[in-house]
Amino acid sequence: MQQRLFHPHVSRLTHSLSSLFLALFALSFCASAPAQSSSSSSAKINSQANTSSSTNGQTTVRNALPPPPSAIDPAGPAVSLETNEPLFDLAAALNTCGYDDGLADSAPVRAAIRNEINAELENSATARDARDQMCTFIHRRDLGDEARNVSQYISLAVYLSPPPELSPTVQEGDMPPDSTGVEGVLPYVRRFARAVDLHVIWLRHRPEYEELINAVHGPLTTMLLETNIYLKQPTSTYDGRRFLVLLEPLLSPGLTNARVYGTDYIVVTSPQHATTNGVTTDTVRLNEIRHTYLHYQIEPLIYTRAGALERMLPFLPIIREAPIDFSFRSDIVAFFTECLIRGIEIRNMDVGIPQPKKPADGSPRYLFDKYGLDEDAWQHQAEAVRRKAVDDAVHQGFVLTNYFYEQMQHFEHDPESLNEDIGEIVYGMELDRELHAAKQVKFYAQGQQDVVQHVPRHLTGLDLADLDMIKGDTEGAAEIAQKVLDSKPSDADAARANFTLGRIDIMERNTEDSITCFKEVIRLSKDPRTLAWAHIYLGRIYDVNSNNSGMGDANLRNLAISEYREALKVRDSQPDTKIAAENGIKQPFALPKAAMRSTSDNDDNTPLDPSGKAEKEAYKPDPIPTSTK
């Protein structure tokens, strides 16, 4: 249920492409390992993705790499709103065993499902016995905090295969740590589900779930698009990451559970049901979902500049006693990212004061004069509310929130995207001034827990190589990929390793080697996404080198068109590959103008501009031609 992002001519390939373009070209697409997907319904959200995250794992090579959460569909859109049957089963189990949080504010389907389960229990001694054993286990694993109790079962659910198996899709050592203590509930849940025909109840209530998906989809899509517009983020191509919102009305509407698994971001939420003036609504906590989405968009920008943040390590001793999570007090990158996100959120917060409405055109002059005065007053009141929020964040321990709040004020009047401005924001900080201000802060006794949890996942092999690529460590990624190839891997792993090496070869201007790698990917891979992008890469390489030959090389252009057509034949069901391939057939892929310009420059002798201003100037778009009728 979905509503839904070696030929003879090779020797003539040029190696004079800009390293800047190659980095953009190679890192635009990241392949993800195939993962088992769960039974789910989804609504595609028109948004975009970037790149993200980090890991402390070791570079161990295994023949079988742990897949991402089974709730993630590797062939699905980058951003999606879905429901998930394993999550439904565990939520139903918790409700049966006394989980009543938020029941009065929940969608009516929650009470209906509970009533149907209770009816089954009344009619079956076997079902009651299964319930009692299941509830005994759940009560014995009670952590004394309802949010933490539910969180551990959510962690388990996103790694389960669909019913009736309802089994972990990875080894125990690769499961989220908080899930391993409750994995023993699964035999009891399976027996209980059979006894009450839980799958039948799930199917019976699919229409209600569909209605909730539809109700939430519009506002959620609007929020994500508005966030992208504020960040001025361009529409991105496939990069292997996922942002998934799971809707489960059997959980409390007060719960928003967000976590990061490697490069995958998952938010679990429940709609709040309310009737106001006869109008019924089902809404989710968009602010908390936005917070997670900002992590998804911004973390890649920060992690690619993690080395530049070492100079900010003096902030960590200052915030040592702040009432914030230990991860922020011990990791300067996490701390820096959270402060930036909070600054952005406060700039976009609802201040709770109605903004004056501008009079209609043709209204009397005095109405416009009054509107001007009212608007000025509103701006002062709104700024006071925002400044209070900044002050609260600083006194919780996020002492750079004020710096980022002020930077975002400038950013809003800058035509550049955050991706382009982030370098100047990072390098332009007056460190001594900000450190002095931070030392004057007296922290609150208590803070607020962040909604996002970076769930430790024991990443290995090519998963680590993907993360190294994201962080810009091509040397580390290449080493891992080569180790995989040297370990007599399966065809699937060999294809992924070659895909990684092919992208690195492009970045290092080894176009002949990159072509060899992508041809190996095509020979070995069975994954439609990887195959499609391998063909597109080859087509773009041929096009770029055809363009660099001066007048254009018809033979290379024909090779490029052939690759684009092969990409279309793969039919991976996603629009980004279809659009990329069709555009490649219509006209040759061309370098950005800055990259073309750099081919005549001596890049090695060009001074480093850490602010990125020169790069931003080079990438300013050409004027849009005026259409004529």
Q: What is the tens place of the pLDDT at every residue in 381-411?
A: 999 999 999 999 999 999 999 999 999 999 9
User: Residue 184: which of 120, 93, 99 has the closest Cα?
Assistant: 93
394 alpha-carbon distance from chain centroid: 26
User: Residue 515: which of 11, 20, 24 has the closest Cα?
Assistant: 11
Q: Do residues 305 and 426 make contact, with C-beta atoms less than 8 angstroms apart?
A: yes
At residue 183, what is the residue type?
E
The Cα 242–Cα 80 span in angstroms is: 8
Q: Do residues 164 and 97 make contact, with C-beta atoms less than 8 angstroms apart?
A: no
Q: What is the tens place of the pLDDT at every residue in 110-125?
A: 999 999 999 999 999 9
User: Residue 615: which of 333, 471, 417 has the closest Cα?
Assistant: 417
Query: How does residue 554 score in pLDDT terms, banded at 50, 70 and 90?
Result: confident
User: Is the pLDDT score of 63 beyond 80?
Assistant: no
Region 283-288: mean pLDDT is 93
Q: Do residues 5 and 78 make contact, with C-beta atoms less than 8 angstroms apart?
A: yes
In this predicted structure, which of 51-60, 132-141, 317-326, 440-449 has the lowest mean pLDDT?
Answer: 51-60
Residue 332: in which H helix or E strand, if any?
Answer: helix 332-347
Strands 40-44 and 79-84 come out as antiparallel
How high is the pLDDT of residue 455? 55
Instruction: Please list, in sequence order, all residues whose beta carbon lies within 8 angstroms of the beta carbon of residue 483, skipping any fewer than 6 positions away.
Output: 59, 61, 461
Backbone angles phi, psi at 40, to 5 degrees: -155, 165
Would you call 103 exposed, middle or buried from its count of C-beta atoms within 10 A (0-12, 13-18, 19+)? Answer: middle
Region 350-378: mean pLDDT is 93
The three-class DSSP label of residue 261 is: strand
At residue 506, what is the residue type?
I
How high is the pLDDT of residue 356? 94
**DSSP labels, 353-386:** SPPPPPPPTT--HHHHHHHHHHHHHHHHHHHHHH
The Cα 554–Cα 334 span in angstroms is: 50
8-state DSSP, 348:
T
User: Residue 7: which of 503, 526, 562 has the closest Cα?
Assistant: 562
> Which carries the bigger pLDDT value, residue 20 or residue 440?
440
User: Residue 467: which of 115, 160, 101, 59 has the closest Cα?
Assistant: 59
User: Is the pLDDT score of 611 beyond 60?
Assistant: no
> Which carries the bigger pLDDT value, residue 506 or residue 56?
506
CA distances (Å), 31 to each of 35, 75, 238, in order? 12, 11, 8
Alpha helices in 430-487 (DSSP H): 431-439, 461-471, 474-486
User: Is the pLDDT score of 222 beyond 90?
Assistant: yes
Side-chain half-sphere CA neighbours of 288 within 13 A: 23
User: Residue 476: which of 492, 459, 455 has the closest Cα?
Assistant: 459
Query: How does residue 1 score in pLDDT terms, banded at 50, 70 and 90?
Result: very low
Q: What is the tens place of the pLDDT at every residue in 423-458?
A: 888 888 999 999 999 999 999 987 666 666 555 545
User: Is the pLDDT score of 331 beyond 60?
Assistant: yes
How high is the pLDDT of residue 18? 34
Neighbours of 272 (CB within 10 A): 18
Pair of tokens at residue 77? 């859109």
pTM: predicted TM-score of the whole model, two decimal places: 0.65
CB under 8 Å, gap of 24 or more: what pairs does 390-393 form? 390/343, 390/346, 393/339, 393/342, 393/346
Region 84-105: mean pLDDT is 96
Instruction: Please list, in sequence order, all residues whose beta carbon lies within 8 angstroms of the beta carbon of residue 615, skipping any fewer than 6 positions away.
Output: 20, 420, 594, 609
**DSSP labels, 91-117:** HHHHHHTT--TTGGGB-HHHHHHHHHH
Convert 151-182 to b/e letters by CB count within 10 Å (16 or more is b): bbbbbbbbbbbbbeebebbbeeebbbebbeeb
Q: What is the tens place of the pLDDT at every residue in 591-606?
A: 655 444 444 444 433 3
CATH number belonging to domain 8-34+474-614: 1.25.40
How high is the pLDDT of residue 26? 37
Strands 79-84 and 264-269 come out as unpaired
User: Is the pLDDT score of 613 beyond 50?
Assistant: no
Region 337-363: mean pLDDT is 94
Query: In 3-state terms, the chain is what percent helix, strand and coil (to 5)?
Result: 55, 5, 35
Q: What is the tens place of the pLDDT at every residue in 228-277?
A: 999 998 655 456 788 999 999 999 998 899 988 878 899 999 999 998 88
Where does the chain hold its CATH 1.25.40 domain(s)?
8-34+474-614
Q: What is the tens place of the pLDDT at every residue in 180-219?
A: 889 999 999 999 999 999 999 999 999 999 999 999 999 9
The Cα 67–Cα 219 span in angstroms is: 31
CA distances (Å), 356 to each of 346, 352, 368, 384, in order? 20, 13, 11, 17
User: Is the pLDDT score of 138 beyond 90?
Assistant: yes
How high is the pLDDT of residue 67? 66
